Amino acid sequence: MHTKRRRNYAGNFFRLLAASMFTLILFSCQNIHKSPDGAVVAFIVAAEQRDMTKAWNILSPELQAYYNGLGEKMRKSGRGALENEIARIQKFRSVKKDYTIQVDSTDAKTVNLITIGGPTHRVETVDIDGDYKIKDEVSLRNLFSAITAVQGKPDGY
């Protein structure tokens, strides 16, 4: 009789544990690009990790076309042109002590990166089928300006 109860308790424990793990996995896999500030944060993380596939997927079609145009001039892919720009960043600013990220109060698709003791950098995003992307070249330049602490010399772009 006691053995049966122990098995039931153990079985219930493992079912509960499995359900908890599944819930954690489900919530951790949510798409961060569902909000403008989420897209900006995802791009910053991708740039810091030098993950060009993730970074490329957070650019709007307009911005991807811009980089493809740059790439054609240098006989590289658009991703190569973006990778070259990100590679020039030798040191990133720390989000904890150098800047803050806030959604603009007047335009929900605009994210402000406010450097402490410095300017505010506006990054516009665009909603494409429920995913937010970095809108254009000006927005990406502003984003790079906000997160770059030390930049190397340009390499042909």
> From first to last of its 157 residues, what are the pLDDT tens digits of the chain?
555 555 555 556 556 545 555 444 434 445 666 899 999 999 999 999 999 999 999 999 999 999 888 877 666 666 788 888 899 999 999 988 899 999 999 999 999 999 988 899 999 999 999 999 999 999 999 999 999 988 776 655 4
- Residue whose pair of structure tokens reads 């502003």 in the numeric block: 142
Cα 93 to Cα 81: distance, rounded to the nearest angstrom: 22
Give the start-to-end residue ranges of the domains of the chain. 1-30, 32-151
32-151 is classed in which CATH architecture? Roll (3.10)
* Residues across the chain: 157
Q: How many CA atoms lie within 13 A of 30 on its CB side?
A: 8
Q: Which has the closest alpha carbon to 46: 82, 78, 98?
A: 82
- Residue whose pair of structure tokens reads 């079609």 in the numeric block: 61
Q: Which has the closest alpha carbon to 124: 32, 40, 33?
A: 40
- Element (H or E) spanning 54, and its range? helix 52-57
Cα 67 to Cα 134: distance, rounded to the nearest angstrom: 13
Q: What's the pLDDT score for residue 27? A: 42
